[in-house]
Structure 1
Amino acid sequence: MDFSTLRTETLRMLFAATYATNFCLAAIYFGKTYLEGLAASIVMFFSLIMLSISLQKPGSFMIYLETSEKEVAFTWVGRLFADALIILFVASFGLPGKIMAIVTLFFFLVTLGIAKHRPDIFRDLFRAHEQDPSLGESYNVAP
């Protein structure tokens, strides 16, 4: 059993669960007032993008992001921007929002630690897609 793959998949699922919960919370608060609707729209948009990146699905969307100028979504700055906006706006959704802001902040700090100390794991978590043409054949070949 390959524990590095298991660790990567577990972290990927935890990140995805956090973004899915943020999306659901934003959907609940959508439309109560104008500003809550605007905040919910922003949270839903960025949560969906980060959820897609965490799950590496759909494949065509991942390849589009990786081969276009929108590559910033996979960088540390892209994650910082998206997570900061999610944390800022999800905190406005009452007590559940504050709890999810803390959870999202925790996973953001985990991402920071991974990016600083293990950039290889950071790439596996948020970038390397099986069909990424820029990786070439050597990345897909099993050792």
Structure 2
Amino acid sequence: MQGEAPAISSNDQTFFKYIKETLEKAHPAYDFIDVNIFSVPKEKNDIKERIKINHEKYKGNYLIVIFFCAFVYLVFNIVIVPLILLWFAFFAVFKKDQEVINFRKYTIKKDYAMKGLILVTCIYLIFEYDVIFSMLATISFCTFIILGHMLLFFDKDEEVDL
């Protein structure tokens, strides 16, 4: 039926359910950012233990940090919005089961549509190349925050067997 939105696949539902459950398990900010508990690990085993424990315990908080960094990036780099729309269009075409895409009165092969969207994305990135550098800087900053917390945060009262 034309004009009807496709149903969300079970993989998408599972992904969104996982994101929702992970965010629900996030700890309050005062637990996540307790400066008194930060310390430098003394041995390699301490590093491994902290990463295992903190990743499992604070993955909801890390996801919030990622969403916050992405939001700040979008606010300060509004030129990325057309690129994001191109990516959404690419994945919408990619998810289609049909080999031919009907758009108004035009019929386009799926391969041509995907290659065209990739080409337009590349052309956009040539003219707006600073988007790539600011995106890499934001990803690096976010990674630095999360890895720093995983390595330096250790609550001695809550040792968990993983």
TM-score by length of 2: 0.29
Q: Which has the higher contact order (CA 8 A, sep 6+)?
A: 2
Higher strand residue share: 2
Higher helix residue share: 1
Between Structure 1 and Structure 2, whose CA radius of gyration is higher?
2
TM-score by length of 1: 0.31
